[in-house]
Amino acid sequence: MLYPSTSPAQKRLDLRRILADGPRNGGTIKQFPGAYTPISAKLIEEKGYDGVYISGAVIANELGFPDIGLTTLTEVAHRAGQIARMTNLPAIVDADTGFGEPMNVARTVQELEDAGLAGCHIEDQFNPKRCGHLDNKNIVDEDTAIKRIRAAAQARRDENFLIMARTDLRGVDGLDAAVDRMKALVDAGADAIFPEAMKDLGEFEAVREAVDVPVLANMTEFGKSRLYTTDELSGSGVDMVIYPVTLLRSSLGAMERVLDDIGAHGTQEASVDEMLTRQRLYELVDYEAYNAFDTGIFNFEVPERFQ
């Protein structure tokens, strides 16, 4: 009932523990689907995933904006906090470019700690940024990228808060330059690496060989690479995989279909089988527990035909 009991400090420890047990150390790859909303974080947990990813693109798109750095730290920390506190799983949030200069990056990390996140990633694009799988990105120089990561690492008050460095350099200056940057970012204090827009598994393998920290793979649909399976990724030494926009795209796809259905047939009847039932929705929000606490809140039975 209400919020799950696992504390943010415990979630950060859990994140450290599961990442230490990645393919790099002979363990299994960890899966972090992108939570679209707080309730979707509950679904992700119920389905047995390892953690929750909170996408900057989804936060922006949900507000009706493109993913070009229009969202503010306050908006992102607030939304990420709402999602993170609804699950016992560790949640990692996309902090884009860190919302400003290195001093702002430091504040970003502290706000995200206070919002209950287990970690965040900070990228080396200029603001206005764009999706990492698009062309014509602008990347900051190495010195600036290093300063962002150093500021982030120094600002955290919980040493287990995970600072992940993302580099977008692959699509601009090629793999070798990107790998060099990743090494520099690890030296600057990054706990994990997000190599953006890798073209194939061989590129992940090159990253794996170059750095000795957990490596993330971004399996976003309609991106620069094929959608690799967990077996393929773990065989290439990838420790964690995110599906950042998958639930948003799936939900919006379903919304579009039902709206077309109502428009065409004057009723949603033909789409009902695709929907989460009333019963299932109530399970997800734990209606029964609230009922047991106070029978005045909820005291009717769901008819069998709706279950």
Ligand X SMILES: C[C@](O)(C(=O)O)[C@H](CC(=O)O)C(=O)O
Mention every residue, 6+ apart, whose C-beta is less than 8 A from residue 85.
3, 4, 38, 116
Query: Which residues between 43 and 102 bind Mg ion (CB under 5 A)?
Result: 56-57, 94
Taking CB under 6 A as the criterion, the residue among 131, 145, 206, 240 binding ligand X is 131
Task: Tell me if 238 sits within 8 A of 27, measured CB to CB.
Answer: no
- Residue 228 is a catalytic residue: no
Counting contacts by CB under 6 A, is residue 244 touching ligand X? yes
- Residue 120 is a catalytic residue: no
Query: Which residues between 28 and 87 bind ligand X (CB under 6 A)?
Result: 55-57, 67
Q: Which amino acid is at 212?
A: D
User: Which of Mg ion, ligand X, none lies near 91, with the C-beta cut-off 5 to 8 A by kind?
Assistant: none
Counting contacts by CB under 6 A, is residue 132 touching ligand X? yes
Minimum distance from CB of 276 to ligand X (Å)? 24
Minimum distance from CB of 85 to Mg ion (Å)? 21
Question: Judged by CB under 6 A, which stretch of 101-109, 215-223, 255-263, 277-285 contacts ligand X?
Answer: 215-223
- Residue 166 is a catalytic residue: yes
C-alpha span between 232 and 228 (Å, rounded): 6
Task: Tell me if 204 sits within 8 A of 237, measured CB to CB.
Answer: yes
C-alpha span between 215 and 204 (Å, rounded): 8
Question: Could you please report the per-residue DSSP string of 35-48?
Answer: PSSHHHHHHHHHTT
C-alpha span between 191 and 119 (Å, rounded): 10
Minimum distance from CB of 246 to ligand X (Å)? 9
Residue of 36, 131, 170, 208 marked catalytic: 131
Measure CA of the first residue to CA of the last residue in the chain; give whole Å: 22
Measured from the CB atom, the residue of 94 and 113 that comes closer to Mg ion is: 94
C-alpha span between 164 and 244 (Å, rounded): 16
Task: Tell me if 234 sits within 8 A of 28, measured CB to CB.
Answer: yes
- Residue 127 is a catalytic residue: no
Counting contacts by CB under 6 A, is residue 216 touching ligand X? no
Please report, as ranges, the residues that interact with ligand X according to CB under 6 A.
55-57, 67, 94, 131-133, 218, 220, 223, 244-245
Active-site positions read 53, 67, 94, 96, 121, 123, 131, 166, 196, 218
